[in-house]
Amino acid sequence: MKISNKKLIFIVGSGRSGTTLLRNIFILHPETGVVPELKFFSMFWNQRKKYGSFVANKEKIAIRLIRIIQAKATDPLHKEISYDEDKLKKDLLASNSYKEMMLVLGQTVNTDPEKEIIVFKTPSDVYHLAKIFEWFPDALVINVLRDGREVCASARGRGWGKNIFDLALKWNEPVEVFDIFYKRNKKHQKQILNLKFENLINKTEETLTEIFEFVGVSFPDDMLQKLKTLSSNSSFDRDKKSGIYESKNFDRVFNDNEKKTLKGLLYKNLLNHSYDANKEGLGIGERMIYLYHRQRKRFIRCLNNLGINI
């Protein structure tokens, strides 16, 4: 079957929200093939001005794509994937657009290219939902949401973010970007599933039933048993635990002042998504610092899209 006729699933959200867990569940499913996280939109489509003419620079783009795939070889998912690198390069060079290159990747760098359903997992694709639906009008999107306090704790455990304002942005911004898209694009709402990480943990069978019905696949009889074998992707318990569980570290990772500030910065979005949250007051200085970091992040992203790295 040509990839243009296959069903495409995109898993998006903020980093450290459980997108990798959901990806790993789809790896276990006999009806889906899964693509490693390649950040195609942010690293290639967004930076197309950097590469110049697509036709004139196809080989340069193809080589960079292959190098990124090679750099991802440490991802355990690559152990599930085998492909002919020469054929991949040939197919990439035969592409006439970025869209076609992405389809080539989905067909080739895949846990099972023969499957009719292809799952792409890149959290930052939440910033590119309009382009996803423009290129692939029949695509399905699963947006994974997790308590922002635990996302910040997990992000700090990974060494992400220089300060608590950066950490707050890593959750607030993708959550707000998704909410705006969802509200403004009612025609696509039936193609989007909003998934709470906590429901996947605490109501596993019920939530998986909802996910599989949304995607249009069966619920394998042995799925719940297989879930017990999943490796942990936690920032704190990696190699110590397996299966589906929730790691809570907010209270122990941050000091009292940091917790107070983070609760204040996250409060609005926590409340909007029905998380228990107490309002914490923020000083003018904290608000100004947060706004500075937000604008600085957006400015850097704009420069990167123009091929300027700082």
What's 217's domain CATH number?
3.40.50.300
The pair of structure tokens assigned to 175 is 């959550």
* Total structural domains within the chain: 1
Q: Is position 289 within any domain?
A: no
CB 23 within 8 A of CB 121: yes
Each residue's pLDDT, cut to its tens digit, for the chain (310 residues) gives 466 689 999 999 999 999 999 999 999 999 999 998 989 999 899 888 888 899 999 999 999 999 988 887 777 888 789 899 999 999 999 999 999 999 999 999 999 999 999 999 999 999 999 999 999 999 999 999 999 999 999 999 999 988 999 999 999 999 999 999 999 999 999 999 999 999 999 999 999 999 999 999 999 999 999 999 898 777 676 556 778 888 889 999 999 999 999 999 999 999 999 999 887 777 777 778 777 677 777 656 665 654 555 5
pLDDT given at position 102 = 95
pLDDT given at position 240 = 61
- Phi, psi for 143 (deg, rounded to 5): -100, 120
Amino acid at 43: M
pLDDT given at position 169 = 93
Q: Is position 200 within any domain?
A: yes
pLDDT given at position 277 = 87
Q: What is the DSSP string of 23-88?
A: HHHHHH-TTEEEE----HIIIIITTHHHH--TTTTHHHHHHHHHHHHHHGGGSGGGGG----HHHH
Q: Is position 293 within any domain?
A: no
Q: Is position 216 within any domain?
A: yes
- Tally of CB atoms within 10 A around 64: 15
Q: Is position 296 within any domain?
A: no
CA angle 141, 147, 148 (to 5 degrees): 95
pLDDT given at position 79 = 78
Q: Is position 264 within any domain?
A: no
Give the residue numbers spanning the domain of 201: 3-162+173-249
pLDDT tens for 195-218 read 999 999 999 999 999 999 999 999
pTM of the shown model: 0.92
Q: Is position 67 within any domain?
A: yes
Q: Is position 290 within any domain?
A: no
